[in-house]
Structure 1
Amino acid sequence: MVPETIAPKTTRWNELIKSLPKAHLLQTSHWADFKARYGWIPNYLVWEESQDGWQMRVYQEADIQVEFPAAAGLLLEREAFPGLRVLYLPKGPLLADWSNQALGEKVLDDLAAYAREKGALQIKMDPDLELGSGIPGEDDFQLFGVGEEFQNLLRRKGWIFSREQIQFRNTVLVDLQEDEEQILARMKSKTRYNIRLSGRKGIQIRLGEIGDLPSLYRMYADTSRRAGFTIRGESYYLTLWRSFMKDGLGMGQDPQAQPIIAEYEGKMVAGAVIFKFGERSWYLHGMSLPEHSEKMAPHLIQWEAMRWAKRQGCVVYDMWGAPDQFNDSDSLWGVYRFKRGFGGVVSLTIGAWDFPARPMLYAAYNRWLPRILQIMRWFGNRRTGQAARSVE
C-alpha cells in the first residue's frame, strides 16, 4: 500500500536533511523546485520511528517537522513516455546510520513497494555513500565496509547497478578545515606555483552577479565544444544559477550559488559556479576561453572558490567528478590530472542503482535509452556549438 500523503507541517525540508550525514545539494527543496520547472514532481520521503518500527511517510510540500528522522529522501518522478513513470532519488536517500542493516532493508523495501504502487518503470538512487577513498592500487587506498555491505544488500533486494549513471560516481574532496596556508601546503608544488603565477600575470578575480550569467553560459558552451562534452541549453543553466542566487548573495542563504570570475584587462577569461549547502560546497560548472590560457586563470579560480567556501563555513570542497578508471583511457582523466593537484582525496561511491519495478519494460527501456540519449546529445551539441560561436 502506498503510504499516506501528509499535509505539510511547519519547518523546512532543508533543515530536516541537515540532521542526517552528508546531506547533499541535490536533495534540497531548492533543487526540487528547480527540477519541477522541467517536468519532475517532487515527493519528500521521511522514515520515522514508531511503535511498529520505522514508517515511511510521503509529503508533497517541503515544510516538514520531524525531530529525529531515521532516513529521508527527495524523490523526483516524471513520465518517461506516456503511461510510463520513472522515479529518482538524486544523491539520496539519506540514512542516519548506514551500518544499520534493518534500517537499510526497511528503506529499500519501502522504495520498491512505492515504485510498484505508482506503476513506475523503475526507481533509481545514487546515494553519496562511500565505497572507499584513494586510488585503487596505491598505498593510501582503503575500502569502507559499510559501503560494500549496503551494495550487497542492494543486490539481495533485487536492485541492479545502473547502466545510466546520471551523476559522477567518484569525485575529489578537498578538506577545508585547516587554515589557508595548510590547505596550500597539501597541494602539489606545480599547482601552488600556477596559482601564484596567475596573480602575477595580471588575472583578477571577482564574485559574479546575476548580470554575468549569460556570458558565463556562452563561455561554458565554448568550453564544452572544445572539450567534447555535452551540456544543456542556455535557459536550463540560467534558470538553475538564478534559482540559487535569487535571494541575494552573502546574506546567509543556504543553499546558494556563487559565480567566481577571472578577468584579464577587464575581459572575462574563465569562471566557475560554486554551490554550497550546510558545511559542504560543490564545484559544479567550470568554463574558460582558450585566450590567455598560459596565465593559469582556472588554478586561481579554484583557490578563490575554496577560500569563498571556507568563509561560508564549509569544511569540504567537492570538485565534482573523478574517473571510473584511473588511467588515460577514461574521459575524465585529463580533468582529474588538473583536480588532483589541489591536494584532495579521491572518494569512491557506490554509484547509481535501479530497482526494475516492471522488469520487462525496464529491460526494453534500457535497451533503447542509449540511442535516445545519443540523439539528444547530438541536438544538444549543435545548440551549444551555436552558443559557443558567439564568444569567438
Structure 2
Amino acid sequence: MELRNISSQDSWNRFVQEREYVPFLQSFEWGAFQEQQGHRVERLSIWNREKFCLGASIIHHRLPLQYNFLYCPHGPLFANGLSLEERRAAFAFLFQYLQRVYKTSIFLRCDPHIKLPSRFDTSRVSHWVQPEYTQRLSLEHASQEAQLLANMKQKTRYNIRLAFKKGVRVARGVRPADFPLASRMIRDTLQRRDLRAHPLSYYQNMLEYGRISETFGIVRLYQAALRGQVLAVGIFIFYGDTVTYLHGGSSQSLKSVMAPYALHWQVICDAQIEGFRYFDFGGVAPPSQTQHKLTHVTRFKTGFGGAQVRASYLYEFPLRKNVFRAFALAKKFRHFL
C-alpha cells in the first residue's frame, strides 16, 4: 500500500462527496478553516496500487510539553465497495504510518459515522467531541412545504405560524457588523444551558472567513428578528447533500414570539429549494436517556420531524502508549483538583 497527500480541493471533495450524509468535517473547506485557526491539517489518502482505499483529513491539536494529538473528525472515510479486510488493511496502514512518522503525537482520535474495522487497542473515552446522536430530516421525499409541515409535531407547526404572524422575519446575516452580536448570542445561550462554548473569536472568525473566502463559502449565518431586534441566530453548513445546524443562540427577550422556530423553518425551506437531500439538526440526547444535558434542545429539534440516528462512534488510539498513560493519569488527577 502507498500513502499520498492530496492538495487539490476538487479531488478531495469529489471523494468526500461520494457518500450519503456527506460529513462536512472532512471537507477541504473545514480543513482550510482549521488551518486559519492555527492548526496543521493534512489530507492523507491510502492506495492499494492504483485503487483508492481511504481518505482522512487529520488536524493536529497542540498539548503541553511539545506534544500533540491527531484528530480525524467524522473520519476516516473508506472508498465505496471495499471488503472488510481491505478496510482493515487500509486503516492499519494509516495507523502505522502515523505511529512511525509523528513522534510527538500521543494518540489518534476518530469519530466516524460507522464502526471502524480495527484490531488496534483503543482507550476508554468518556468525552464526546461530536454528537453521538443527531436528528436528521429527509428533504428529498417531501416535494412541497406543506408535506414538510405535515410531518412535524402539531406544536411545532403552531409555533412556526405564530412566529410569522407576530412579525418575525428571517434573513441571512452577511455584514461584518452582524457577527459580534451573533457570536455573543451563541456563546451566552450555550453557557446558559451549561454546554461547552468556544471563545467569541472562534465564531467571529468562522463567519468572517466564510464571508471573504470562496474556499469556505459553505458557512451561512441566519438571523430571526422582530422590528429590527435580533432574537435568534444560527450558523449552518451547506455542503454536499446535507445542510447542518452547527451553532445557534437565542435572546431571553420576547421568547413568546418563537423566533427560533421561524429561523429553522426558513433554513429548511432554503435547503429544499437549493436541492439538498438532508437537513441535520445536530446533537440530540441518546434515545435511552431522559435526563441529559441535551434534553431541552432535543424536544425542539424532534418537533420538526425526521429520525434520530447514530452520528458517530468515538475512538482514541494510543500512538505512544507510555506517554498516553501518563497524559491520561495527569488529566484524571487534574479533574479531582
Provide the rounded CA distance (Å) in 1 between the counterparts of 2:163 and 2:6. 54
1:290 equivalent to 2:280? Answer: no
For the 8 Å contact 2:59–2:70, the answer to whether it is kept is yes
Whole-angstrom distance in 2 between the partners of 1:266 and 1:83:
49
The alignment of Structure 1 onto Structure 2 pairs a total of residues equal to: 332
Deviations 1:125-150 (A, max 9, x none): 11122xxxxxxxxxxxxxxxxx4xx4
Match for 1:122: what amino acid?
F
1:98–1:23 CA distance, 2 compared to 1 (3 A):
farther
Q: Is the 8 A contact 2:20 2:241 kept in 1?
A: no
Task: Say if 1:30 and 1:306 are closer, same or farther in 2 by CA, change over 3 A.
Answer: same
Using a 3 Å threshold, how does the CA distance of structure 1 residues 293 and 327 change in structure 2: closer, same or farther? Answer: same
Residue 173 (structure 1) aligned with residue 173 (structure 2): no
Provide the rounded CA distance (Å) in 2 between the counterparts of 1:182 and 1:22. Answer: 22
One-letter amino acid matched to 1:128: H
User: C-alpha separation between the residues in 2 aligned to 1:113 and 1:49?
Assistant: 15
Contact 1:173/1:344, CA 8 A, preserved across alignment: yes
Map 1:335-374 onto structure 2 (within 5 A): 335-369=297-331
Question: 1:133 maps to what in 2?
Answer: none
The alpha-carbon deviation at position 164 of structure 1 amounts to 2.9
Aligned ranges 1:44-83 → 2 under 5 Å:
44-50=43-49, 69-83=52-66
Residue 89 (structure 1) aligned with residue 55 (structure 2): no
Q: Tell me: CA distance 1:267–1:7, structure 2 relative to 1, closer, same or farther (3 Å).
A: closer
Matched AA of 1:23: V
C-alpha distance after superposition, 1:95-149 (max 9, x if no partner): 12487211221232123202311122111111122xxxxxxxxxxxxxxxxx4xx
Q: State how far apart, in whole Å, the 2-side matches of 1:329 and 1:365 are.
A: 31
Aligned to 2:234, the other structure's residue is in SS state strand
In the aligned structure 2, how far is the partner of 1:37 from the partner of 1:10?
A: 16
Matching residue of 1:204:
169
Decide whether aligned partners of structure 1 residues 72 and 260 sit closer, same or farther in structure 2, where only a CA change above 3 A counts. same
Q: Contact 1:161–1:352 at 8 Å: present in 2 too?
A: no
Residue 98 to residue 367, structure 1, CA distance change in 2 (3 Å):
farther
- Tell me what 2:156 maps to: 191
The answer to whether the Cα contact below 8 Å between 1:262 and 1:269 also exists between their aligned partners in 2 is: yes
Q: 1:270 to 1:194 in 2, by over 3 A?
A: same
Of 153, 158, 170, which aligns to 2:121? 158
CA distance in 1, matches of 2:81, 2:74: 14
Q: 1:65: which partner in 2?
A: none
1:114 aligns with 2:97: yes
Query: 1:166-189, CA deviations, whole angstroms, 9 ceiling, x for partnerless residues?
Result: 111110101111122211111111
**Matches of 1:160 and 1:105 in 2, distance apart?**
19
Of 166, 182, 193, the residue aligned with 1:227 is 193
1:358/1:247 CA distance change after superposition, 3 Å: closer
**1:270 aligned partner:** 232
Q: Is the 8 A contact 2:22 2:241 kept in 1?
A: no
In structure 1, what is the equivalent of residue 27 of structure 2?
A: 28
Aligned to 2:265: 303
User: How many Å separate the matches in 2 of 1:18 and 1:238?
Assistant: 27
- The CA distance in 2 between the partners of 1:278 and 1:372, in whole Å, is 41
Matched AA of 1:110: F
Deviation, 1:370, is: 6.0
Distance 1:347 1:374 in 2: 34
* Counterpart position of 1:16: 15
For structure 1, which segment, 17-26 or 292-301, has the greater mean C-alpha deviation from structure 2 after superposition? 17-26
| Aligned partner of 2:113 among 128, 140, 149 | 128
- CA contact under 8 A between 2:108 and 2:319: conserved in structure 1? yes
Q: Secondary structure at the match of 1:321?
A: strand
Structure 2 SS opposite 1:229: coil
The Cα of 1:356 is off from its aligned counterpart by: 0.8
Return the offset for 1:310.
Answer: 1.7
**Bigger Cα displacement from structure 2, 312-321 vs 214-223:** 214-223
1:214 is the counterpart of 2:180: yes
Aligned to 1:330: 292
What amino acid is aligned across from residue 48 of structure 1 in structure 2? Answer: W
> Cα distance 1:223–1:370, how it changes in 2: closer, same or farther (>3 A)?
farther
**Equivalent residues of 1:255, 1:277 under 8 A apart:** no
The 2-side partners of 1:337 and 1:7 are apart by 41
Give 1:124's aligned amino acid.
Answer: R
Gaps of 5+ in 2: none
TM-score normalised according to structure 2 size: 0.89
Distance in 1 (alpha carbons) for counterparts of 2:221 and 2:171: 9
Q: Tell me whether 1:246 sits opposite 2:209 in the alignment.
A: no
Alpha carbons of structure 1 residues 255 and 101: separation in structure 2 relative to 1, 3 Å = farther
CA contact (8 A) 1:39 1:78 kept: no
Q: How does 1:132-147 map to 2 (within 5 A)?
A: 147=115
TM-score (norm 1): 0.77
Bigger mean CA offset, 189-198 vs 76-85: 76-85
Question: Where in structure 1 are there 5+ consecutive unaligned residues?
Answer: 55-68, 130-146, 376-392
Matched residue, 1:141: none
Q: In structure 2, how many angstroms separate the alpha carbons of the residues matched to 1:9 and 1:334? A: 42
